[in-house]
């Protein structure tokens, strides 16, 4: 997530560079629009992944470990 934040900042630094102001750079503008679109989509995906609850994942993991221990006949100590 931190890398996405850094990417957004770097994108802004490039796209808002005063050295580029007033220049007719059609290919650059096209690439900049594409970069902006991809960066925005990546940021949205990262933020949505951040909102996924992990409790169900860990509950499944507990069940898998418990089932494996039963199958392998090992001792399982529950530390809850």
Using a pLDDT cut of 90, give the percent of the chain over it: 32
Using an 8 Å Cβ cutoff, are 72 and 64 in contact?
no
Residue ranges per domain, the chain?
A: 2-53
Domain 2-53 indexed as CATH 1.10.287: yes
Sign, CA dihedral 34-36-26-13, equals negative
Which position has the token pair 């993991």? Answer: 61
Confidence band for 37, pLDDT divided at 50, 70 and 90? very high
Q: How far apart are CA 43 and CA 2, in angstroms?
A: 10
Percent of the chain at pLDDT > 70 equals 92
């Amino acid at each position: 997530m931190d890398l996405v934040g850094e990417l957004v900042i770097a994108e802004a630094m490039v796209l808002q560079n005063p050295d580029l102001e007033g220049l007719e750079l059609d290919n650059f503008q096209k690439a900049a629009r594409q970069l902006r679109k991809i960066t925005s989509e990546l940021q949205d995906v990262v933020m949505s992944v951040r909102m996924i609850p992990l409790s169900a994942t860990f509950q499944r993991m507990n069940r898998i470990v418990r089932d494996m221990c039963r199958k392998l006949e090992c001792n399982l100590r529950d530390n809850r």
